[in-house]
């Protein structure tokens, strides 16, 4: 890139929205375990907490998991679930899957577990009477804000999906009725890859935007 | 704000991530109906399409609804659902609710209906075997990217939640098995309010971040 961009900050620390959106990756293998300054963590969580929410219910919580014993137990659980998934694949897909690291639970600085409380803002949550999942959607909007802010700060985020909700609920003492939505690995990284891991390792390619756009009718 | 920020662009068009995250609002009453330039719409949809997705499945679609007849029919449906909700409230809450405009379907430039296709990327979606909703979460991450990009471009977004999914499915010819997740009003605005509508109108106040943060256990 040349021309009018000389005065930009270094790419890794740019806070330009579009830079961040397109540079953001789901990180598994690039965590370096370095500490996260308190003010950085505050800004990242503050961005999550500034997300829109149905009826202004802000139904999210953030559990910051640093305890190595808790993270080790979760990592063991993830390995088991990984094997369960691998067993469902044919040989080609299993070979592609074997190349992909699926979590950075132990290498990242900490984990952020995001939960959903359907009772918050009740009993009548404005906008949720017709769509039961609307509160869950709000939690996901907060997660994306967190992810982008982390990227802007030079941190990586890895969303671990290979777990069972009841396991996490018990591990972290999540009360009945409150749902774990995401286990996010968070921390400084050596770099962000320019191509998603699943594409680099031959699992799946990204589709063009045009495939997803319709006019007036689906 | 003084000091080192003189060279910043005007606040309305800033693309700084944190500016955008904290300036973003759920817009209902400030749409002015002006056109959206094609390159702006491309950037906004491109940001949505750059969101993370479970197994790189990109399970979202975007239906751009400009047809006044379709939008009029949806608006009528929303009014009915609004009345249904109002009837569940006690007198005080009903009075607060009556002050809140709940949609900008007719005043905004266009609507973007975002849908979820659970079949995309299948049959084995990496990361979805244990968490059935993970694909739905991906769609919400795309919505937040869209919302932030729109804000950076000086557009407003209003998420309309007062509708029944089957109504939207039929109205827009959404195929069986594909789920409407959000009806978003999109377009230029006169301004963005600094305080969310629901707080301005006495429906609910935002809670401090500290209430949502836990350490090691929920």
pLDDT of B50 > 50? The answer is: yes
| Closest CB to A218 among B15, B174, B204 | B174
pLDDT tens-digit series, residues B68-96: 999 999 999 999 999 998 999 999 999 98
pTM of the predicted model over 0.80: yes
Task: Please tell me the distance from the alpha carbon of residue A63 to that of residue A180, in angstroms, as a whole number.
Answer: 10
SS3 content of chain B, % helix, strand, coil (to 5): 40, 15, 45
pLDDT of B6 > 50? The answer is: no
Min Cα distance A161 → chain B (Å) is 5
Mean pLDDT to the nearest integer, B19-41: 97
Q: CB distance A209–B46 less than 8 Å?
A: yes
Task: Please tell me the distance from the alpha carbon of residue A76 to that of residue A72, in angstroms, as a whole number.
Answer: 6
Q: Which residues contact B145 (CB under 8 A, 6 or more apart)?
A: A21, A144, A148, B47, B48, B50, B51
| Closest CB to B18 among A15, A131, A203 | A15
| Residues of chain B neighbouring A21 (CB-CB closer than 8 A) | 47, 50, 145, 148-149
Tokens of A117: 């409380």
Q: Which residues pair with B159 in a beta bridge?
A: B184
Domain residue extents for chain A: 26-190
Min Cα distance B111 → chain A (Å) is 9
Q: Which of B95, B98, B140 to mutate to test binding with chain A, by most A CBs within 10 Å of its CB?
A: B140
Residue of B nearest to A138 (CA): B140
Task: Please tell me the distance from the alpha carbon of residue B100 to that of residue B196, in angstroms, as a whole number.
Answer: 11
Q: CB distance A172–B218 less than 8 Å?
A: yes
Q: CB distance B149–A203 less than 8 Å?
A: no
pLDDT tens-digit series, residues B176-194: 999 999 999 999 999 999 9
Q: CB distance A204–B56 less than 8 Å?
A: yes
| Residues of chain A neighbouring B196 (CB-CB closer than 8 A) | 56
pLDDT at A8: 39
| Closest CB to A88 among B84, B124, B207 | B124
pLDDT at A1: 38
Instruction: Look at chain B and count its residues.
Output: 218
Element (H, E) at A157: strand A155-160
Note the ipTM here: 0.92
| Closest CB to B209 among A49, A88, A205 | A49
Min Cα distance A29 → chain B (Å) is 16
Q: CB distance B21–A181 less than 8 Å?
A: no
pLDDT at B179: 95
pLDDT of B14 > 90? The answer is: no
Backbone angles phi, psi at B67, to 5 degrees: -55, 120
Q: Spelled out in words, what is the top-level CATH class assigned to the domain B26-190?
A: alpha beta
Residue of A nearest to B178 (CA): A218
| Residues of chain A neighbouring B5 (CB-CB closer than 8 A) | none
* pLDDT, averaged across chain B: 92
Q: What is the 3-state secondary structure (H, E, C) of B101-167?
A: CCCCCCCCCEEEEEEECCCCCCCCCCCCCCCCCHHHHHHHHHHHHHHHHHHHCCEEEEEECCCCHHH
Task: Please tell me the distance from the alpha carbon of residue B148 to that of residue B140, in angstroms, as a whole number.
Answer: 12
pLDDT at A128: 83
| Closest CB to A141 among B52, B93, B143 | B143
| Residues of chain A neighbouring B206 (CB-CB closer than 8 A) | 56, 58
Place of tokens 């230029």: B188
Mean pLDDT to the nearest integer, B21-33: 97
Min Cα distance A48 → chain B (Å) is 9
Residue of B nearest to A206 (CA): B56
pLDDT tens-digit series, residues A177-216: 999 999 999 999 999 999 999 999 989 999 999 999 999 9
Angle in degrees, 0-180, between the axes of helices B134-152 and B38-49, rounded to the nearest 10: 150
Mean pLDDT to the nearest integer, B96-106: 90
pLDDT of B4 > 60? The answer is: no
Residue of A nearest to B55 (CA): A198
| Closest CB to B47 among A21, A70, A175 | A21
Q: What percent of chain B has pLDDT over 90?
A: 79
pLDDT at A122: 81
Determine the Cα angle at A16 with ends A43 and B55, to 5°. 80
More confident residue, B130 or B211: B211
Residue of A nearest to B45 (CA): A209
pLDDT of B2 > 70? The answer is: no
Report which of A218, A215, A209 is spatially closest to residue B64, judged by C-alpha positions: A215
pLDDT at A127: 82
pLDDT at B11: 46
Q: CB distance A45–B216 less than 8 Å?
A: no
Q: Is the dihedral of CA B47, B67, B137, A142 positive or negative?
A: positive
pLDDT at B12: 52
Count of beta carbons in the 10 Å neighbourhood of residue B90 = 8
Mean pLDDT per 10-residue run, chain A (218 residues)?
39 84 96 98 98 95 98 96 91 90 94 96 82 91 98 97 94 96 97 94 94 97
More confident residue, B97 or B27: B27
């Amino acid at each position: 890139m040349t021309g009018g961009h000389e005065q930009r900050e270094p790419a890794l620390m740019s806070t330009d929205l579009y830079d961040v959106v397109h540079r953001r990756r789901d990180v598994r293998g690039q965590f370096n375990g370095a500490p996260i300054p308190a003010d950085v963590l505050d800004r990242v969580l503050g961005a999550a907490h500034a997300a829109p929410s149905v009826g202004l219910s802000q139904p999210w919580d953030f559990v910051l998991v640093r305890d190595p014993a808790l993270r080790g137990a979760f990592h063991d659980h993830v390995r088991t679930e990984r094997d369960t998934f691998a067993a469902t694949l044919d040989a080609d897909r299993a070979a592609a899957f074997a190349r992909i690291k699926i979590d950075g639970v132990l290498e990242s600085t900490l984990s952020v577990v995001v939960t959903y409380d359907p009772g918050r803002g009740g009993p009548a949550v404005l906008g949720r009477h017709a769509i039961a999942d609307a509160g869950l959607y709000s939690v996901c909007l907060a997660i994306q804000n967190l992810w982008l802010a982390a990227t802007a700060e030079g941190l990586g985020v890895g969303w671990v999906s290979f777990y069972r909700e009841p396991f996490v609920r018990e591990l972290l003492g999540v009360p009945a009725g409150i749902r774990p939505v995401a286990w996010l690995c968070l921390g400084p990284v050596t770099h962000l890859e320019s191509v998603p891991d699943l594409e680099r390792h031959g699992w799946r390619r990204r589709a063009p935007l045009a495939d997803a756009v319709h006019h007036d009718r689906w």
